[in-house]
Structures are given as structure tokens and as C-alpha cells.
Structure 1
Amino acid sequence: MSATDDKYYLTEVDKYPESIYCMHDAMGENDISIHAHHKGQFLYTEGGIVHVETPQKTYFLPARHYMWIPPGILHSIHPGSADVIMRNLYFPVEKDDKPFYEVTGIYPVNDLLLQMVIFSNRWSGDLNRDDKSAHLFALAFKHILPEVSIYNLPLALPYAKHKRLNEIIRFMSTNLQELIIFPELAHQFGFSERSLSRLFHSDLGMSFIQYLTLLRMMLALRLLLEDGMSVKEVAALVGYNSVPTFSTTFYKIVGMRPSDYVKLKTGVLGG
């Protein structure tokens, strides 16, 4: 048994099926092994990017965003730095709840939701109907999520099942600062352009350029938040010669300019 097997996320969250479970946890450098809950999970993190892996995808959860993990979804959690703090609320999901709660997603946190997360810091463990004010607040928290979570950010990369495509993706991942040209990439790995294009669509469900762009943005998020690099430095390291082009692409994916995203690093919540 690993040192983390007795942690709350494996033993306590589902002990009382009707309760709302609340936990704020300093992760340190500990990974959380693969597991699932009967309850839906609201996950907000501070202090760095967190990687959440499911059997199908790797999700990247940056600052000022939250992840919703539906009940029954296998996942493991991997902090990007030793300073990460997780703020979790686990909710029972009912059959007549909105479809929102059935979909894994990453969403920006607006000011209202941020204040509600801050308010929830005072609680730990199970919130039951006996504690009427806390339980009603937590229920309101749950039910407001679909109203304030309009844009499910594509901050996830699917796993490639095709062996040769995995080799291509590894090459792309380690050469993001270089100019990666699709015809040259196809030739280098023994594909025609048409067959490689079809493979990206059939295996990953997206085009080469869509995958490459997401790959670059995932690295950019980490460099901006964890390594403290300037926007200009990050743009170059992820393969953009033009800072405005990088900034526009970042905005389309993340929902804010990289210069604004960097400012979020100093806006972490109090414990």
C-alpha cells in the first residue's frame, strides 16, 4: 500500500453518500494515484499547474480555472510543483441534475465563483443537512456552476493509440521551439501528407495544426506560471516568432491574454 492510499480522496469522500465533502489540501510533491468517486468533484488549484490524467486524456489545470470531474471517472492527479494546494468540493449528482455534471471540463473561475471558493475555505470534511447554512451554501455553489461555466476550455490532449503517431508526438513535444512543417514531418516519419492527416483525425479526433497548437499552449501555460518567463521568451520557446500572434492564439485557447494570465500568479487564495 502506498503512502497516499489512506488519504481522504480514497477513504472519506464517499463514506456518506448524501453529504457534500469539502477538503483543502497541500499536495507537496505527492501524486494522487488513479481512483474514482461516486460524487462529482470540483477541483481548484493554487500554486502551479496540475495535470489530471484519465484513461483517454491528459488535462492541464492552470491557475484561476477549475476542473469538474463527473462521478465514476477514473483519474489521477499530478502537481506541477511542490507548492500546489488543491481546493475540492465533492457533490452528490442526482439523476435529474443538468447534463453539465456528466461532462469532464475545465472552466475559467469568475469573481463570483472565486469568492465562493474563498468562503468554502472554512469547512473541512462532510457538510450535512444538519449544518443548514453551510449545506445550503454548498448546494448553491453546485447549482451555480452550469450558469457561470459557459466555456469548456480545450485544455486537454487525447492519447494516441497508434504507435508511430506516438513517436511523431514525442518528436513534436521535444521540438516545439522549432518550426514544425507538416510535409517535412510526414516525410521524416515515412507517411504521405494525406495518410498522416487522416491518422491525426482518426486517432486523435483533431487536425495536426489543432494538436500542435494545443501542445504549444500547454507548454506556454507551464512556462508562464511555473518558470516565470516573460511572454516574449515563452512565445519563442513554443515556436512563435511573433509575440502578437502567440498572444492572439493564447487568448483563443485560454480566454485571456498571456500578460493577464501571468498576473493571476500573484492572485492566489489565502489559506
Structure 2
Amino acid sequence: MDAIITPEDKYYIKDVDKDIKSIYCHHDLMGELLIPTHRHKKAQMLYTEGGIVHVTTETKTYFLPARHFIWLPAGIAHSIHPNSTEVIMRNLYFPVNSKEDLFYENEGIYPVNDLLLQMMLFTNRWNGNLKPGGRNFIIANAIKAILPEVCFTNLPLSLPFPKDKRLTNIVAWLDANLGETILFFDLAKRFGFSERSLNRLFQKDLGMSFIQYFTIRRILKAIELLLEKKVPVSEVAQAVGYSSVTTFSNTFFKVLGQRPSDYLNGKEILKKG
């Protein structure tokens, strides 16, 4: 009979923090549709290829698309939810040092430029602990060192969880109707609110207005459709409720700093010198 592998036996629980001074490297297929909630004593840099990944912390769900990475400071409890077992993950886990740049204290999603991508791909042959002083440790540590210099834009590719059950129901309805033209007045009426009281509920519970929440939710769905590369931009716009491609393109640009057509063609986002 095959041995049963529990979450505690997985590398992300068992091995990452064994040597607190090393940089731990792990590249592999996801192999599963859920990596359960866990935390590390080291900070984590996760880059993925071949699919879409959601990373859930105690307060937010992050949407990690292709050509981006997520930075998770040490101690942040999180679970990982890929849309396919065939998604490739590239992980580097870094020990925490004193007097580090403030960049490393905040979780976030960042685009990967060509330099960073090539450095990450260079680590492809590595797995396990990279010991201080070794050549591979120095190279991996250089990846960490350049992040504050090249990662200028912490993209708003996350949404908070509603805590109020009334808002949970509203958000679920919005998710199911992203392709429809939704007016705030009609939404409030449907769920028995005045516009003022519903907007106050969004602000109090989620820390953002309805339009801020709904805009980000639409763009996250649009990114998902663009990455599938099965439909043109005009159809993506329609699928997330925009009747005007121009309006959709302008909104996409405000959120991601890039036009949907450029994103579809894989042009890099990060072009600052």
C-alpha cells in the first residue's frame, strides 16, 4: 500500500525552514489543485508559468497571472490554488535579515521584466538549500537584492474578503453576472439597500467603494480570459461587461499600466529604467 502524504510531509512545510540561513529553492509542477494553508519563517518569491494561480492570505485573495510574481513576507499564512495541476511554480525562499529595504515587508504582485525572468530561469536546475557563501546562493541573493530596484509597481491584483454575509451574497451575484451591464442603483434595489447604505457597507467592510471593487473584479476576469488567448480583446471586453472596447482598454491601462492588446501579445509591463 502506498504511503499517505500529509501536508506536513510536503516540502513547503517540512524543508523550507530546516536551515534558517539558507535560501531554499523549489521548482516543480504544482501537481495538485490546492496547497493548504501554511506559513514559513522565510520570505517567499513565487513565479508561475502555464496557468493562473490564486494565493489566499487571511485577508485577501491575490490573482497571480503569467509573467508576474508574488512576494510574501515571512510569517504570512497562505494557501495556493492553481487552475491546473500542470502549472509550473518557481519558488525562492529567503532568510530574513535585519535592516532590510521596506520592499520586503509588504506582500504584493509585481510584473517580471526580461532581466528578472532570465535570472529566475537560471535557477531552474536548482532544488533544495543553497548554502551561504556558495555560488548559487550568491546568484539567488542577487535576485532578491534587485527587487526594490526594478519592482516599482505593486499591482492591485487582489480583492479583500467580505465579512458581512449580506455583502458575501452580493459579491457572489456580481461574480456570476460580470458580463452584464450592472447599475449601482439596480444592484442596491435588488438586495434591499439604498445606494448610500450599500456604498457605506462596501467602504466599511472592504475598504473600497463599489466601483473600485467591481472594476478590479472585472479586470481580473479579463486577464484570465486574455491569458487563455481564445478570444479577441473585443470579446473579452464584452464578456466582462464593457460595451466600449476603448473604455475597457483605458480601464485596463489604469489598473495594469498596459493595454490589453499588449498584454495579450506578451509585451513586458515593466519598462522603467
Normalising to structure 1: TM-score of the pair? 0.93
Deviates more, 1:39-48 or 1:138-147: 138-147
Shift of 1:248: 1.6
The alignment partner of 1:251 has SS state of helix
Match of 1:246 in 2: 248
For 1:114-193, what aligned pairs fall within 5 Å after superposition? 114-131=117-134, 133-193=135-195
Please report how far the alpha carbon of residue 129 of structure 1 lies from its aligned counterpart in structure 2 after TM superposition: 2.1
Query: Is contact 1:81-1:226 (8 Å) kept?
Result: no
How many correspondences in the alignment?
Answer: 264
| Residues in 2 aligned to 1:244 and 1:167: alpha-carbon distance in whole angstroms | 31
> C-alpha distance in 2, partners of 1:103/1:237?
33
Q: 1:221 aligns with which of 208, 220, 223?
A: 223
Q: 8 Å contact 1:63–1:264 — kept in the other structure?
A: no
Deviates more, 1:249-258 or 1:156-165: 249-258
Question: What is the distance in 2 between the residues matched to 1:126 and 1:228?
Answer: 40
Residue in structure 2 matched with residue 210 of structure 1 by the alignment: 212
- Please give the residue correspondences for 1:5-44 in structure 2 after superposition, counting only pairs within 5 Å: 5-44=8-47
Counterparts of 1:213 and 1:83 in 2: how far apart (Å)?
30
Cα distance in structure 1, aligned partners of 2:83 and 2:114 = 25
Pairing of 1:47-86 with structure 2 (within 5 A):
47-86=50-89
Per-residue deviation, 1:255:
2.4
Contact 2:178 2:218 in 1 (8 A): yes
Secondary structure of the residue aligned to 2:212 is helix
CA distance in 1, matches of 2:198, 2:131: 54
CA distance in 2, matches of 1:191, 1:30: 37
- Aligned partner of 2:242: which letter? Y
1:125 maps to amino acid: G
Code of the residue aligned with 2:102 in structure 1: it is P
How far 1:5 moved relative to its partner? 3.8
Letter matched to residue 63 of structure 2: F
Higher alpha-carbon deviation: 73-82 or 13-22: 73-82
Distance in 1, Cα, partners of 2:32 & 2:128: 23
Could you say if the C-alpha distance between residues 216 and 121 of structure 1 is closer, same or farther in structure 2, counting changes exceeding 3 Å?
same
Code of the residue aligned with 1:14 in structure 2: it is D
Q: Report the Cα distance in structure 1 between the residues aligned to 2:5 and 2:124, rounded to whole angstroms.
A: 28
Shift, 1:243, TM fit: 1.1
Determine the C-alpha separation between the residues in 2 that align with 1:28 and 1:259: 31
* Other-structure match for 2:271: none
User: 1 CA distance for matches of 2:234 and 2:32?
Assistant: 29
Unaligned ranges ≥5, structure 2? 268-273
Q: Which of the numbers 91, 96, 116 marks the counterpart of 1:93? A: 96
SS in 2 for 1:264: coil
* TM-score of the aligned structures, taking structure 2 as reference length: 0.93
Task: Tell me the percent identity.
Answer: 59
| Residues in 1 aligned to 2:64 and 2:33: alpha-carbon distance in whole angstroms | 16
Verify the 8 A CA contact 2:229 2:264 in the aligned structure 1. Answer: no
> What root-mean-square deviation, in Å, do the aligned CA atoms of Structure 1 and Structure 2 show?
1.5
Structure 1 residues 206-215 or 222-231, which shifts more? Answer: 222-231
The alpha carbon displacement at 1:130 in A equals 4.7
